[in-house]
Amino acid sequence: MDSRKSRGNNQTRAAKVLIVDDDQTLLRFLKKYLERENFDIYTADQGKKALQVFYQERPDIVVLDVMMPGMDGWEVCARLRELADTPIIMLTAKTSESEKLRGFRLGADDYVTKPFSMAELAARIRAVLTRVGFQNDGEELEFKTGALRVNLRKREVFLGERIITLTPTEFRLLTVLIRHAGEAVSRDELIREVWGDNRPLNSSALRRYIWLLRQEIEDDPNHPKCLRTVRGYGYCLEG
């Protein structure tokens, strides 16, 4: 299968992400996953170390756990805000409104509730960086599999030489699939990445958008060969 990713000629660097959590195992998994997603990852397992790494590396965004021994995430967030306006995503097991309001008052930009998927966290990081205007020139600008080509920066989709017009939701769904071309992607992961906090309660919306995409990219949408169903799991975009 032909699955190639090309980078722009003017690339400079990937976004620098500082992840702060006292769970060493989680840090290792997040570092490995997010580096594959083209982020430059730094880690710290305690608050004081996080401040040191932040001062030395000046990351573009901080992912910060709330519940840590010693200096907790709230205090780290407050101290970071004294140093810079770098965006901060809080990781928390608590979902109460008062907890979120506390974080926002301290200057947090977003919340991710534990447990979470790594794909969801990567999507949240990208969304926050986009809101603050960061241009991640180290990220792939174009993905290709078979005759299908997606340019992320221009938000253009081509099937061979023919341009395809997609809705924003269709484009997000295709982007997730083509990033993982040749791999099965679960329904849950697709729903998280495409809809985020506004995700539907069931998979009927996902099935409808899969159907819509097939109308655009398949020779015979009723017998798909490109966007196939992985029974009992999810979907896979082939070349």
Question: 108 Cβ partners below 8 Å, 6+ apart?
Answer: 64, 77, 88, 89, 90
Task: Give the highest mean pLDDT range of 37-51, 78-92, 130-144, 158-172.
Answer: 37-51
Residue 99 pLDDT:
72
pLDDT at 20 over 80: yes
The C-alpha atoms of residue 7 and residue 140 are separated, in whole angstroms, by: 5
Residue 37 pLDDT:
87
For the chain, domains (ranges, CATH) are 13-131 (3.40.50.2300), 142-237 (1.10.10.10)
State how beta strands 61-65 and 16-20 pair. parallel
Round to the nearest angstrom and report the end-to-end CA distance of the chain: 5
User: Measuring CA to CA, how many Å separate 10 from each of 5, 13, 22, 138, 139?
Assistant: 15, 10, 37, 9, 11
Q: What is the gyration radius of the CA atoms in the chain, in angstroms?
A: 19
